[in-house]
Amino acid sequence: MKIKIILIAVTVLLIASVVFIFWRGSHAPKRKVVVVKKAHLPTKEPARKRRFIAIQKRYTNPRAAIVIDDFGYNMNNIESLFAIKKAVTFSVLPNLPYSKRIAKLASSKGYEVILHLPLESIDSAAPAEKGTIETGMSEKDMLALLDKDISAIPGLRGVSNHQGSKFTEDKRSMAIILSGLRKAGLYFFDSLVTDRSVCRQAAAEAGVPYAKRDIFLDNENSPEYIEKQLLSLRRMAFKYGSVIAVCHDRKNTIAVLSKMMPELAEEGIRFVYLSEMVK
């Protein structure tokens, strides 16, 4: 009898335990499922377009020719310049380590090449290139040096003066050089290093196509200055319909051109080769 009572008590206890466990499970607070959201990485903002100051635009699609001087010392900036994919004119000094190579490479890619001809400067202390043509030379010696320098630059279309503040003021000397250019079928570009240049008149008398510089872009080798000068080029282009700029084969210059030439082109300026500007 005692054993029977114990078994009944154990059974009741087991049943009560099962009922309690079931009740607790059905009434327990439900756990919230936490979904871990992926962090939103900041999207890369598109490069902001330059906001040019509003100016009066007399011409819708003005032309601009950029002549880059002093090629021949190295190849440092060539690929960066090619990457711009805009017309620039390569002005190459003769008889330097990379003169011929640069001229051939630029020509093969469709760029215009001219000879940057070393001419005598007023400042006798200024460093002169080897083979600089001087006013005191005979006509024979002048033309011999000119022919040698022309032969050193393959594929050239014209000639510009490197330095030459004294030479380009001298009527006799310029008449001799221009007679050689007429014979070679080349145009002359006056870098205009002196306000007493006689090149325009001498070219007209010799029947040689001619153009002159309107603005220097990098008389100071700082990006800020070069950028300011390109903004001046912009104003001149839209005001006069055409502008010719001169700059140099330098890292800062090419970097600013890489940034600003596409922006100026998008605004309507057409970059052309120098031969399109000579008259």
Euclidean distance between CA atoms 130 and 167, whole angstroms = 16
38 lies in some domain? no
Euclidean distance between CA atoms 199 and 189, whole angstroms = 9
pLDDT computed for residue 128 by the predictor: 85
Residue ranges of the chain whose pLDDT lies below 70: 1-51
pLDDT computed for residue 102 by the predictor: 98
pLDDT computed for residue 52 by the predictor: 85
Which stretches within the chain are classed as H helix?
A: 2-27, 78-84, 99-108, 139-152, 171-184, 199-206, 223-240, 251-267
Direct distance between the N- and C-terminal alpha carbons of the chain, in angstroms, rounded to an integer: 134
pLDDT computed for residue 130 by the predictor: 86
11 lies in some domain? no
58 lies in some domain? no
pLDDT computed for residue 39 by the predictor: 44
pLDDT computed for residue 211 by the predictor: 98
213 lies in some domain? yes
What is the total count of domains within the chain? 1
157 lies in some domain? yes
Q: What is the CATH number of the domain that holds 173?
A: 3.20.20.370
DSSP assignment, residue 133?
A: B
Euclidean distance between CA atoms 23 and 37, whole angstroms = 35
pLDDT computed for residue 11 by the predictor: 57
pLDDT computed for residue 29 by the predictor: 47
10 lies in some domain? no
The DSSP bridge partners found for residue 118 are 162
Half-sphere exposure of 232 (CA within 13 A, CB side): 14
49 lies in some domain? no
pTM score of the predicted model: 0.82
Q: Quick one: CA torsion of 117, 122, 127, 130, rounded to 10 degrees? A: 40
User: Tokens 């760029």 identify what position?
Assistant: 111
Domain of residue 223 covers 63-276
pLDDT computed for residue 76 by the predictor: 97
107 lies in some domain? yes
Q: What number of H helices and E strands is found in the chain? A: 8, 9
